[in-house]
Structure 1
Amino acid sequence: MVYTRLLPVPERSFFLFGVRGVGKSTWVRMMLPDAKRFDLLDEALFTDLLGNPALFGNLLSGVEPGEWIVVDEMQRIPALLNEVHRQIEERGVRFALLGSSARKLKTAGTNLLAGRAVHKAMYPLTPTELGRDFDLDAALRFGTIPLVWAAGDRREVLESYTQLYLREEIRAEAAVRNLPGFIRFLPVAAMMHAQAVNVSSLARDTGVARPTVAGYLEVLEDTLLVTRLEAFEAKLRVRERKRPKLYWVDPGLVRAAKRQLGPVAAEERGALLEGWVYGLLRAHNENQEVFDAVAYWSPTESNAEVDFVLTRDGEHLAIEIKAAARYNAAMLKGLRAIAALPGLARRILIYNGPHEFQTEDGIHVWPLDHFHDALASDRLWP
């Protein structure tokens, strides 16, 4: 089944990034059906353009101003960006540039398009996009990447996904020299999902040098599998942790990297749910402007923590995620610790129970489905 995605088509040229299988190509075929398309996974086309990038301009000679051109897997030939730049500037052609990795583009002239092409991201399917097909347990166990979600055997597809990633993204781009070390690193990095990143600890557990692990993390970020969430500096007369937290883009990929695809264990549910909520926030932020910035907050003097602090127009929204089905006042520790933050507009506890209410000190307690409804309808902020 093809699902309607949240992302609208920008009016001008754009990059669209997302992990393999997330649905970029399907989306662009639906949204721009008349566009001329160049798929750089076509090996004959890839070989011709790699050997002669100038050929790309000749292939565009009949395109009219304002028409759309789609280039899929743009990162395979970054040199084409020079011609893209020229076509935008001189002829008014519009481009949809799709990619599953930003690694080569970061070092190959993407800055030439600064101000000429917006950057957009596509995330795994959200409950809004899935509608009645959404199932939280399945989402946490297998993730919601369309390639996996639509599969008859989701476990089998997920098991092969890591091999696809290693083959297509890592080997093809020669991103790492020590592939065995990187393979050892992947499950260790998956164990760090929703945790503060300790590069030295990762290096010890992986058995490679610290600078190498730092490079591996950059590879995961550049190939869009993970993102690092910086710590929020509230300056509430407490020392705050500076290490960023690591989040994988999809719960299924976390579990595939850990080689742990059975039913979700109780001890992993909290991190998976927290990461899934972070993904929802980012997906909706692509076209709703839910926040200007997002961070986490955690003072060093206590174990109080707030999972996400959203900032918009100078105000803050504090969100704590709990996987438990029953409310407990102890869940509010972090939200109460951050109460003195200037500009704090709302504090929200999201949990897996059925009851919605507000505590005496003004904290909103929301079931997960209420949170999602508020996010989808842009009612998170008061």
Structure 2
Amino acid sequence: MSYITRSLEKVVQQVTQEYPVVLVTGPRQVGKTTMLQKLMEGTSRGYVSLDDLNERALAKNDPELFLQLHKPPVLIDEVQYAPELFTYIKVYADTHHEPGAFWLTGSQVFKLMHGVQESLAGRVAVLSMTSLSQSEINGADTEPFRVDLDALLNREEKAVPADTKDIFERIYRGSMPAIASGKNTNSQIFYSSYLSTYIERDVKELSDAIDALKFLRFMTAVAARCSQMLNVAEIAQDADINQKQAKDWLHILETLGIIFYLHPYSNNLLKRLVKTPKLYFYDTGLVCYLTKWSSAEVLEYGAMNGAILENYVVSEIAKTYLNTGRETFLYYYRDKDAKEIDIVLEQDGVLNPIEIKKTSNPGTELTKVFSLLDKASVPRGKGAIVCMKPKVGIIDRDNYIVPIWII
């Protein structure tokens, strides 16, 4: 099994020089600990995991003694299990002013992790790690995705070309490090084991009253609606649970970094005619497993191919930001006539409209919907059709053709 270099490594090294605490959050098995342990090699930094029940008990019951035993610089793994540590970490940071004293990992999204923000505000650099991006898997440098011709041509030079069959193979296999590195060759067996561990450990940690089989059925109902506007009632009905449970369980999936939302774009001149977010998974391999596709080839011609392809593109664009330590400003647009723009990327004072299509020959008709943004107070920038075209192209002076494999 070979180690896959992560784009976040440079960011970790940078913020370690500036902040006393560095917190890397994200789902289980996306490579948080592996990356930090790789960066620790040849240093004096210690390591302790709160998956160890003895260490966890000490951290919860006597956090002061725990930090005397595990002196900084130290990596504390799965820190969400002992929030009692945060106050003592804060005191240490305020007393010693030591950059990089604590590296922390957590299997919960920071903004949803209770107590951390209050305790460590201003002292912690928070980095979100997702499963691997296609550029990381292919060994290319990750740059935030921009709708700019020079940037797109630069991406094209560095990326590994892929045809439609290859793209759906990438989608089907997913982006978990264990699969991409070759440690596990059968993605279906991996995801089966992953879900068992995930539900038994992380989900029940957040709510121990959850029935494992019901939660799995719920996740399947959610996966079947990837790239769609969130419909809690339908998900609840399919999973045979009530709507409050469905909302609570969706919050758990978001907290654990499994799903994310695109919210509808609006500003003072564009009425937000739709308030409902669209739902996406960070890892399409998990979607394919939950929705029971037997192979990449069957998926390519199946009923969900458009939805899962859209999920793949949206998640890959999001990863180009998250994996380089940047915040994403991704939205979608939909009006009362059901006219929709798949992605609205807000960057550098302009709005870039992006459509995702499973076609290798996009035409000008696909860009007509972009004019919906012309009434916004933020100017409309260049647009893009992300599709199966083998090379970067131009539809007209304001719109580009972007192959999926270069994202």
Q: TM-score range by the shorter chain?
A: 0.7 to 0.9
Choose the corresponding residue for 2:77, options 68, 72, 76: 72
- Alpha-carbon offset, residue 188 of structure 1: 0.4
**CA shift in 2, pair 1:258/1:327, >3 Å:** same
**TM-score w.r.t. length of structure 1:** 0.87
Choose the corresponding residue for 1:229, options 262, 280, 286: 262
Mean Cα displacement is larger for which, 109-118 or 233-242? 233-242
Mean Cα displacement is larger for which, 11-20 or 132-141? 132-141
What is aligned with 1:3? 4
Mean Cα displacement is larger for which, 277-286 or 133-142? 133-142
The answer to whether the 8 Å contact 1:335/1:347 transfers is yes
**CA shift in 2, pair 1:157/1:338, >3 Å:** same
The answer to whether the 8 Å contact 2:204/2:210 transfers is no
What is aligned with 1:332? 367
The answer to whether the 8 Å contact 1:291/1:311 transfers is no
Name the CA distance, whole Å, in 2 between partners of 1:343 and 1:226.
30
1:218-257 aligned at under 5 Å gives the runs 218-233=251-266, 240-257=273-290
The answer to whether the 8 Å contact 1:347/1:364 transfers is yes
2:307 is equivalent to residue 271 of structure 1: yes
Residue identity matched to 1:347: G
Name the CA distance, whole Å, in 2 between partners of 1:105 and 1:315.
29
What is aligned with 1:42? 52
Q: Which has the higher contact order (CA 8 A, sep 6+)?
A: 2
1:8-19 aligned at under 5 Å gives the runs 8=10, 9=12, 10-11=15-16, 12=19, 13-19=21-27
1:130-149 aligned at under 5 Å gives the runs 130-131=137-138, 136-149=167-180
Mean Cα displacement is larger for which, 288-297 or 16-25? 288-297
**CA shift in 2, pair 1:153/1:214, >3 Å:** same
Name the CA distance, whole Å, in 1 between partners of 2:325 and 2:7.
13
The answer to whether the 8 Å contact 2:313/2:404 transfers is no
- Alpha-carbon offset, residue 179 of structure 1: 4.1
Query: Which 5+ residue runs of structure 1 have no aligned equivalent?
Result: 373-382
What is aligned with 1:189? 222
What is aligned with 1:375? none
Q: Secondary structure at the match of 2:74?
A: strand
1:47-75 CA-to-partner distances (Å, cap 9, x unmatched) read: 333333232122145x4xxxx32111111
Name the CA distance, whole Å, in 2 between partners of 1:21 and 1:321.
29
**TM-score w.r.t. length of structure 2:** 0.82
Name the CA distance, whole Å, in 1 between partners of 2:23 and 2:309.
29
Name the CA distance, whole Å, in 2 between partners of 1:104 and 1:285.
17
The answer to whether the 8 Å contact 1:247/1:275 transfers is yes
Query: Which 5+ residue runs of structure 2 have no aligned equivalent?
Result: 141-159, 161-165
What is aligned with 1:315? 350
- Alpha-carbon offset, residue 156 of structure 1: 1.2
1:1-382 aligned at under 5 Å gives the runs 1-7=2-8, 8=10, 9=12, 10-11=15-16, 12=19, 13-33=21-41, 34=43, 35-61=45-71, 63=72, 68-93=73-98, 94-102=101-109, 106-131=113-138, 136-149=167-180, 150=182, 151-174=184-207, 176-233=209-266, 240-263=273-296, 264-266=299-301, 267-286=303-322, 293-302=329-338, 304-341=339-376, 342-360=378-396, 362-370=398-406, 372=407
- Alpha-carbon offset, residue 124 of structure 1: 1.6
**What is the RMSD computed on CA atoms of the aligned residues?**
2.6
1:265-317 CA-to-partner distances (Å, cap 9, x unmatched) read: 43322222222222222222136577662211111213x21111111243211
Aligned identity (percent) is: 23
